[in-house]
Amino acid sequence: MNKITSILMALITVMMTACGTVSDVVAVSADKYIVSSHGIVGNGAASAEEIKAVQSATAFCRQRSQTLKVISVDKVDPFFGRAPSASVKFQCTQQ
């Protein structure tokens, strides 16, 4: 792969991932949290949004020197006029 191809692939990757958003982690009870990820209309999949949300939850737990325990996942696949999304409810547990 030449340098121009590598640069183009990196640029396309940034453009495709930069438009979606991942929410801040929100406490829903004393020890349970939720984080959501939303893609863009016409592009992506709910499973990709789930991965982003789980990555955010994992980082949140690691900051507390704890391990992620997923409680539930709610995914919405894209369809006409609706972006893909996923919400992950989780706990951080001692390692």
* Within-domain flag for 2: no
pTM, entire model: 0.76
Residue 15: inside a domain = no
Q: Report pLDDT for 55.
A: 96
52, 16 Cβ separation under 8 angstroms? no
**Is 74 among the domain residues?**
yes
Structure tokens at 64: 């507390």
C-alpha 47/C-alpha 49 separation (Å) is 5
Instruction: Find the domain containing 80 and state its range.
Output: 20-94
How far apart CA 95 and CA 88 sit, in angstroms, is 20
pLDDT per residue over 34-50, tens digit each?
999 999 887 789 999 99
The total number of structural domains in the chain stands at 1
Would you state the pLDDT for residue 41? 83
Instruction: Per-residue pLDDT tens, the chain, 95 aa: give them.
Output: 576 666 655 545 545 545 689 999 999 999 999 999 999 887 789 999 999 999 999 999 999 999 999 999 999 998 888 899 999 999 999 97
Could you tell me how far CA 87 lies from the centroid of its own chain? 8
**3 within a domain of the structure (yes/no):** no
